[in-house]
Structure 1
C-alpha cells in the first residue's frame, strides 16, 4: 500500500494537490483536495489490464466551472431544490439560484469548488485521504456552521470506500454524495450503452419538466426503470417512455433502494469483464447517463458526447425538503450525519 502526492496548480494562492494511492494488487485512485474530485480509478479487466474507469479532465482549469461535476463531492444538498428555498423551524431560507430559478448541487460554490484540508493515511490493509471543511453559517443561504469530513479509503479487496461525517450547530438540510461518472470499458474505448445495470429497486421518482421530483413514487414494473434483473442501458435509453424522453432520452432519475449493503447496485461491462458493485446506507440512488454533456468539452482528452459515462449518486432523495413523505434530509443541531458508500471492483472472466 502506498500514497504519493503531487502539486497540480494553485487556486487563490492555495496549492491543489493530487493524491494517488495504490493497493497491493495495483489498483489505483487519484483525487484532488479541490472538491475532493476523483480524477482516476485504475481497475483491472479480465485480461489483467489496468485502465481508467472514470471520466475526468486532463487539465485543471475546466474544474473551475466543471458543469458535469466530474468526480466531485456534492453538498450541502445533492440534487435540485425547487425555487431555491425551503422552510425549516418556521423560517424560510433563500438559497443561491444556479439553475434557472432552482438550486442545484449546493449552489454556485458548493462543496465541489472548495479547497479541502487533506490528511493522508496508510495502514497494512488500507490507504487513503481524509478531507475536512467547515461550511460557515449562511454559505449559499444554508443555516448553521457545518463541520464536514469525507474519507476516501482503498483496501486490498479492491474496495473503494467513501465515508461522510458532518455536524452542525443549527438544524440544516444535508445530503452528500459523490458525482463520479463510470465507464467500465476502460480508457473510454466505448460509450456506456452496452453496460448492464442492475438495481434492487421497486420504485423510482417521477420528474417534472425541470427534472425535479413531483413527489409521486412510480412502480418500476413494465417500464424501462425495472432494473431488478439487470438491463442493458441501451435498452432502457431507447425505450419509448415519457420519463426517458423528458430528460434527454436517458436516465436522470432517483430510485428508492430496497436493501442496504447487499449488492444493491451492480454495473457490468461485458467486453472488459469489469463489474462494479455499489453498496450504501443511503435510501436512494440517482442514475444519470450523461444525456446533456456540454459540446466542445474534452473528457480524458477526447471530445465529449452523450452516454460517455454513467453517474450513480447514492444519496437522500432530491428536493426532500419539500416532500414530507420522503426520508428526511434534516441534520439536527448537535446530531451526527454519517453515511458510507462502498465501490467494489471485480472481474467476470466468462
Structure 2
C-alpha cells in the first residue's frame, strides 16, 4: 500500500527561502573545547604564539568549527521534545526522526579567534522516495558564513533524512569487557594510513557540548533506544571533523584543506574504534579519498578532500 506523501504545500513552502542572518564570534575558548572534543592537539588551535609563528593573525579555528559559533541557543521552549531546534525539520514534519546523510564544506579561508561572523541558510530542495519502512524525505540545505562586511569565509551544505522512527530497542547490554577495552585505548592512535579514534561517552559529551548538540540521540541513551538505536550516536559533524583533521595532516607543502565532502554510511557509537584513512583519490575525485571503518569492518563514512594554496 502506497503511503501518502509527506510533501504537502506547507512542507514545500520553505524551498528557496533564506533564514534570517545568524551572528556569532570566533572565540578562542570555544575553539579549545572543539579541538579537545576531537582530540586534535594542533597548537595553532590553542596557542597564539604557535599560530602567529605559522603565519596567522591569531589562534585559528579548526576547519569545521565555524558553524558552532552561530548555533542558536533558545530556551527550552524553543526546542522540540527530542532536543532538536524547532526549525530543524520542514514545518509539519517535526514528528519524524531526523538524521544526517552527508555534509560538505568549501573552506575559503581559516577563521581567526576574535572575528565576528554571519551565517545565512537556504533550503535548496526537498524530495521524497519510498523506503522499506515508509516514505523518506531528503532535505538539502546550504549555508554561507561571512564577515559582517560580506567576505566569504566558508560555504557548507547538508543532506537531512526524515522518516518515521524504527521500533524501539531493549536496553543495551554491553559485551563483557567492552568498557575496559574502550578505556584502555588512546583517544587517537596514529597508523600508517591514518588514525584510529576511540570515542567514549565522555568524548561524545565533549563534542555535543562544543557544538551545542542538544539532539537527544547524541547523549540520552534511553531516548536513543526509543528511536531504534542501541546507544547514542556520534554526530556526523564529529566524524567529518575527524576526517578533516586527518586530511589536514596530509596537506601538500604550502597548501591547506579547501574542500571536504563526507557521506555517512552507518552510525558510530561510544566504544567504537573508528579507523580513519586517507589515500590518493582517483582522477577527478579530489586529492584524497577518505574513509572510516569501525572495529567490525563496517563502513561508517566515505569522503574526499581537496587542497589549494
TM-score after normalising by structure 1: 0.29
TM-score after normalising by structure 2: 0.32
Which one has a larger percent helix, Structure 1 or Structure 2? 2
Which one has a larger percent strand, Structure 1 or Structure 2? 1
